[in-house]
């Protein structure tokens, strides 16, 4: 049997925690004026349980708002962008989200799926110095 024929799956103990990327639309007169993605932590014994709890939590954030110009609007839950199980239970420094993006100017190999574009391009807190 060759390595290509083997599917090696790492054995990982479930953490019981998931990070969930939720998407909301801010609507005025039925049309979106802004989109918000939020990443929240949800506990659950499995992905299905976490998904159900995430939907319940997501709906609690739906609300009404008023713009600076006095227009009334609503925050509407649009759906779940992604759900990822954490490797470890949450604590200070625990990774709760990651996303791979393409480096500017680097083209993928012909047989590779391209990565999403880097966004945002500028960082809020860039590295202070080079090593």
Over the stretch 48-86, which tens digit does the pLDDT of each residue have? 999 999 999 999 999 999 998 999 999 999 999 999 999
More confident residue, 13 or 32: 32
Token readout for 81 is 């962008």
pTM (two decimals): 0.71
- Coil, helix or strand at residue 40: strand
- DSSP-assigned letter for residue 86: -
How much is the average pLDDT of 9-28?
Answer: 86
Measured distance CA(103)–CA(125) in Å, rounded: 18
């Amino acid at each position: 049997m060759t390595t290509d024929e083997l599917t090696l799956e790492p054995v990982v103990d479930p953490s019981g925690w998931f990070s969930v990327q939720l998407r909301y639309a801010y609507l005025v007169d039925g049309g979106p004026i802004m989109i918000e993605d939020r990443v929240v932590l949800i506990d659950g014994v499995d992905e299905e349980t976490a998904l159900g709890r995430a939907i319940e939590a997501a709906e609690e954030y739906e609300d009404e708002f008023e713009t600076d110009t006095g227009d009334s609007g609503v925050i509407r839950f649009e759906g779940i962008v992604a759900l990822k199980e954490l490797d470890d239970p949450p604590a200070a420094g625990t990774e709760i989200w990651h996303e791979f993006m393409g480096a500017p100017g680097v083209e993928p190999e012909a047989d590779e799926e391209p990565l999403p574009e880097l966004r945002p391009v500028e960082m809020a807190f860039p590295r202070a110095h080079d090593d």
